[in-house]
Chain A
Amino acid sequence: MDLAAIIIGLAGVMATAAPVIFATVGETLSERSGVINLSVNGTIILSAMTSFAVAVSTESLFLGFVAGMIVGALVALIVAFTSLTLHQSQVAVGFVLTLTTASLAYFLGNPIMGLSGPRVRSLPLPLLSEIPILGPLFFQHTPLVYLSYLLIAGAWFWIFKTRPGLMLQGVGERPAAAFARGGNVRRLRYFYTILGGALVGLAGPTYSLGVKAGWKGTISGLDGIGWIALALTIFGGWDPLRAALGAYLFALLQWLGLVLQPSLPGIPSQVLQVAPFPLMILTLLLVTIGNADWVSRTLAGLPEDARRLVTRGLRSLYVSPPAGLGTPFEKE
């Protein structure tokens, strides 16, 4: 394989990671505020179908994308309402929604299966796209890929460098303290859950009007992506930068699966296609194993130098969720 082919492949990785990044950053914002939206997998499927249907019937890509985001926001609104206002379990509601929205997508999308529809064109950025290697790698994409770059940086900046971002962290970590500081915990949680949902809903059309154009029902290849996004949110330690890194890693693994296929004739192609999924989720083991009691007990038995080294290694990987994640907050 020559350099040009590798660059084209890696550019493809940047493009296929974009929808995963939208979903992961959306979920990160939602969970930062303390709400788990477990419906991501179904939401992506339903928003992909809806936006494709809207784009086909209105011949407008823009309306398609808007429709996808509205679907995502509406599903998130259901999660927020049932958990924040009606005090039902976020995990239960999210799980039911992930199944229901997927069924809904397959049912309603039946008549538009296999239709040809519009597709977002790539827009090489002037000057930047001329740079050797980096140009074709990063700057000869659709506007959505550029949006994914902006979103990673913007979300990181918002969460860690602005005053409202500080309040967002507070609402997720110590809702009572954030409330005492004048934050309207419930309203902020509603806001970030719906905003996060809209971003998840953006992932759908990024597939159906972009990287996996069209709607093919259950073989659209979208099932599972949402679970990956949820896993990446944890893997990323609720930090958009680290989560995006995970998304690129996942896209890279998928690409490697395709590239390596001819050289591994013993493994059926179906296996290589699903291989990145368990790999991504099992990396969670690496970032969470520091929580386990037996690890600290074993570490205590090691000689001083070794223990310090292992502890440092684990701590650099270790993540911990916002303390208020999934728990309701009632002002007294």
Chain B
Amino acid sequence: MQRESSRLIDLGFRFSAIILALLFTTLVLLVAGAPPIEAFRHIILGSVGSVGKISDVLVAWVPLLLATAGLLVTFSAGLWNIGIEGQITLGAIFTTGALRALQASSLPPAASIAVAVLAGAVGGALWALLAGALKTYGGVNEIFGGLGLDFVATALTLWLIFGPWKRPGVGSMSGTEPFDVTLWLPLFPGLRLSPWALVIGLGGIVVVYLLLQGTYFGLKLKAVGRNHRAAFLSGIPTSRYMMLSFLICGSLAGLAGAVQVTAVYHRLIPSISSGYGWLGLLVSMLVNFQVVPAAFVAFFFAALNIGSIQLPIVLKLDSTLSGVLQGSLVLFVLAMEGARRRLVRLREG
């Protein structure tokens, strides 16, 4: 009985957090002088209004899902892998590099793509290990080490696009020369979605689910995250576990970058990571680091991103409204969770 009622209270707090976030976003729309209902309607229609739109949402869902899956692993170890944006970018760079090297070879296209996707995972993993090494062996907080590496990754991308990999003639912000259609991951007919990308994305989240829920490794990793010192004293090699969690997260982030290149843009562009790393951090926080809900929330966030593309087209508003809604949602959920705990403490104490 007691349990039942506390569960209801829990749900009530979560629900009110969602209402508050919607109210806040409505207020922001009113301040901007825009019709709120109309704006929400366009976001919904723009994300799930047709098969084409839903497939576009899934195109955004895959890299977000991969980034989130990776972050759940580093969060389990108690680490804030803010370097994930750079890890996605490095994945994209390695994939582009591999495709460039292989496009002239006699390798069948399918094999070239497979090698390039794996190269992406390696690129992301290397970048993550660098952040991990700075943290474990250099004492640099992973937030700042990761951010530094994000900036380096951006600089590297720009250098490649304007330098060695520039388009014939002059380099431009539109990116490198697009690859031949044979080097694209095959798409569903008439859609922008690749079934292979979906397989990679779902594979990533399933692997992370099994890893965290069903293995000793996952259990020990959580022990490191919960209480670093106790884990160390009980004989878990904490540094190695932290490095492994970076390795796994970086590989998944690298795969996200590889998907962006092979299935979405077919070239390297300056903002290839599209902010999916940041968004993955928000998703992870919103679901309190649970794997299964993360997949659904990632879909919801991807839908908001795709739906809000309609705003500049139809209502002359900026599409960053999705960021306002996503951010305020996480903020209110965190705040309401704090308020709920405070209430529980007051009742008990």
Contacts and interface: CB of A to CB of B under 8 A. Distances in A.
29 contacts: A85-B342, A86-B341, A91-B143, A92-B285, A92-B334, A95-B80, A96-B330, A100-B323, A102-B320, A102-B323, A107-B28, A107-B323, A107-B324, A108-B28, A224-B151, A234-B144, A268-B162, A268-B171, A270-B159, A271-B158, A271-B159, A274-B155, A278-B155, A281-B148, A284-B144, A284-B145, A285-B134, A285-B145, A289-B140
B169 to A, nearest CB: 15
A281 B145 CA distance: 7
A267 interface: yes
Nearest to B171: A268
B138 A289 contact: yes
B195 to A, nearest CB: 32
A170 B339 CA distance: 28
Nearest to A217: B318
B109 interface: no
Given A96-B285, A107-B32, A281-B147, A274 B154 contact: yes
Contacts of A87: 338, 341-342
Interface in B290-310: none
Given A110-B317, A268-B159, A277-B151, A88 B334 contact: yes
A275 B148 CA distance: 10
Contacts, number: 151
B58 interface: no
Closest 6 CB pairs of A and B: A86-B338, A100-B327, A103-B323, A281-B148, A291-B139, A268-B162
Chain B interface size, as a band, is 35 or more
B31 interface: yes
Contacts of B163: 266-268
A166 interface: no
A129 to B, nearest CB: 37
B148 A277 contact: yes
Given A88-B335, A288-B138, A274 B158 contact: yes
A110 B32 contact: yes
A86 to B, nearest CB: 3
A4 interface: no
Q: Is the interface of A mostly helix, strand, loop or mixed?
A: helix
Nearest to A111: B32
Contacts of A294: 137
A274 B151 contact: yes
A93 interface: yes
B282 A99 contact: yes
A294 B139 CA distance: 10
Contacts of A234: 141, 144
A136 interface: no
B117 interface: no
A290 interface: yes
Interface in A16-67: 38
